């Protein structure tokens, strides 16, 4: 359940957007990279109280992210779990 929509999880609003460098191909020149914004939500799991339990981040539309970008996103959010 998103912290922002505890009363109605069907109407969850994104917690924020994370901007990550995005490269279309492995051979693409690093100077031509584009920054893409990825929407994410947070959820409190293993609890019945808001801000209790174990917080995690969820990126519902992470298609195209590579492992290094996922690591950067997880490191930036600094939560115990991040799901892509």
Cα(72)–Cα(65) distance, integer angstroms: 11
Mean pLDDT computed over 71-81: 92
Active site residue 76: no
Determine if the pTM surpasses 0.75. Answer: no
pLDDT at 50 (0 to 100): 82
- Catalytic annotation, pick one of 28, 61, 76, 81: 81
3-state SS, residue 50: coil
> Which one, of 61, 46, 45, 62, lies nearest residue 3 by Cα?
45
Please write the tens of the pLDDT for every residue from 8-67. Answer: 445 566 777 878 776 555 554 555 567 888 899 988 889 988 888 899 999 999 888 899
How many CB atoms neighbour CB 53 within 10 A?
Answer: 13
């Amino acid at each position: 359940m998103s912290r922002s929509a505890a009363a109605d999880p069907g109407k969850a609003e994104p917690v924020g957007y994370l901007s990550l460098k995005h490269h279309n191909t492995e051979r693409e020149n690093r100077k031509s990279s584009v920054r893409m914004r990825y929407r994410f939500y947070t959820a409190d799991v293993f609890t019945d109280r808001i801000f209790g339990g174990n917080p995690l981040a969820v990126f519902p539309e992470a298609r195209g992210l590579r492992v290094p970008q996922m690591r950067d996103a997880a490191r930036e959010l600094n939560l115990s779990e991040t799901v892509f």
